Structure 1
């Protein structure tokens, strides 16, 4: 059952509480879309921790079948499906003014800005002596989707500003919150399974 649907225009931001168990589906409405997302637990203690999420699941990107972990090792959300196998989480969001404006609405401030996920964007190591990061164009197209399941009550913050390394214009992104009848865990690494188990034990 669809609980809420919203379209975020390009170069805009949006935020919302999401109850545990609901799914969050983002849809790119134009080629080159980017959706930078911050995730904070509704208890305001758990924040998305990109380094722990990546090292525990042996990855340098966000992809289907990954659990997004907090700095306490709890599961915030699980990526249950995606039309893309690569979402950037190494380059952050800049400028961050849009995310900051949404954070302020919920009583947060500049110190609450932390590493985010740039859904629909791909950044890889460039073939140069410095092994610098390079934006990969033509990665996402209109209609691409990614779906997360909230594993605890969350606050989500989304900016549709262009990726900081991209020259492409801002594009709109649709957000759909849904209460599914049943969403099974995808195939997960042992570390992700432990994070989910700990979260369910502590939070229910």
Structure 2
């Protein structure tokens, strides 16, 4: 075999330079062939395979656009204040404080400190998102698909998020319930959650980081997906430098609750010398 020796393995590895797979990061991100119109300097450009995951630490003000390329992606997202793992996405407060269970442009992703982690600035996926059900587990995937381990053909979202967390100094105990993009859930009058599915290929959502963040994403089927086969298609992730939301932005004053969350965030950052 060509790789049976160290020299052969090195030659084989070096021969892969410049080759690309359908799902992989582009490094440097500025080599991405079609950057978003009007975007600043690209800092993250990646296609995440179905059943895959990704992670990145991003600066305050970074805009992150997630795109469902083929109509069957489901981006399970977690956010942590970078360097402060105890401040993290709180889906209960995100829903409760804003008096709304449905994610779409204009909504905020909140921590349990009453501060904004990220804002949703654009949504072309018709609000087909979910802030209530979380992601799949190894047990649930084993029951449904026969396995939920990371290296199986049907990895569970929580198992992938554990890996992403570990690569950022986080532990399983640091993983709260996630939000999901591109597979919508509707709550019926009797309280039953019903999957409304995807808005179709090409839908996107753009998030703006309102603090320095650690971003964890698993691209796996929604736990309410009724299909017997594990169905998950590629997710595109693009991020670029921009500016955090400031007073005077319509998003800042869109609701009294949102304004208070932005004020809480601004006061906290000001005490750290961040304006």
Name the TM-score, length of structure 2 as normaliser.
0.69
Runs of at least 5 residues in structure 2 that lack an aligned partner in the other structure: 1-39, 138-157
Answer yes or no: is 1:45 the counterpart of 2:112.
no
SS in structure 1 at match of 2:101 = coil
Identify the match of residue 132 of structure 1 among 176, 188, 192: 192
Measured on the aligned residues, the alpha-carbon RMSD in Å equals 1.8
User: In the TM superposition, what are the counterparts of 1:75-86 in structure 2 within 5 Å?
Assistant: 75-83=116-124, 84-86=126-128
User: How far off its partner does 1:189 sit?
Assistant: 1.2
Q: Find the counterpart in structure 2 of residue 5 from structure 1.
A: 45
Indicate if the aligned counterparts of 2:89 and 2:117 stay in contact, CA closer than 8 A. Answer: yes
Structure 1 outlier segments of 4+, above 6 Å: none
Answer yes or no: is 1:21 the counterpart of 2:61.
yes
SS in structure 2 at match of 1:61 = coil
Deviations 1:62-109 (A, max 9, x none): 111011110111110000110122410110001211111111111222
2: CA distance between counterparts of 1:54 and 1:152? 20
Runs of at least 5 residues in structure 1 that lack an aligned partner in the other structure: none
Larger radius of gyration: 2
Identify the match of residue 149 of structure 1 among 201, 205, 208: 208
User: How far off its partner does 1:58 sit?
Assistant: 1.0
Structure with higher helix content: 2
Q: Find the counterpart in structure 2 of residue 93 from structure 1.
A: 135
Indicate if the aligned counterparts of 2:60 and 2:243 stay in contact, CA closer than 8 A. Answer: no
1: CA distance between counterparts of 2:195 and 2:243? 38
Tell me which of the two structures has the higher relative contact order, counting C-alpha pairs closer than 8 angstroms and 6 or more residues apart: 1
User: How far off its partner does 1:136 sit?
Assistant: 1.4
Indicate if the aligned counterparts of 1:33 and 1:141 stay in contact, CA closer than 8 A. Answer: no
Answer yes or no: is 1:70 the counterpart of 2:111.
yes
User: How far off its partner does 1:188 sit?
Assistant: 2.1
User: How far off its partner does 1:115 sit?
Assistant: 1.2
Q: Find the counterpart in structure 1 of residue 221 from structure 2.
A: 162
1: CA distance between counterparts of 2:242 and 2:254? 20
SS in structure 1 at match of 2:79 = strand
- Compared CA separation, residues 119 and 73, structure 1 to 2 (3 A): same
Q: Find the counterpart in structure 2 of residue 192 from structure 1.
A: 258
Q: Find the counterpart in structure 1 of residue 154 from structure 2.
A: none
SS in structure 2 at match of 1:81 = strand
Indicate if the aligned counterparts of 2:85 and 2:174 stay in contact, CA closer than 8 A. Answer: no
Give the paired residue count.
201
2: CA distance between counterparts of 1:182 and 1:20? 6
- Compared CA separation, residues 191 and 202, structure 1 to 2 (3 A): same
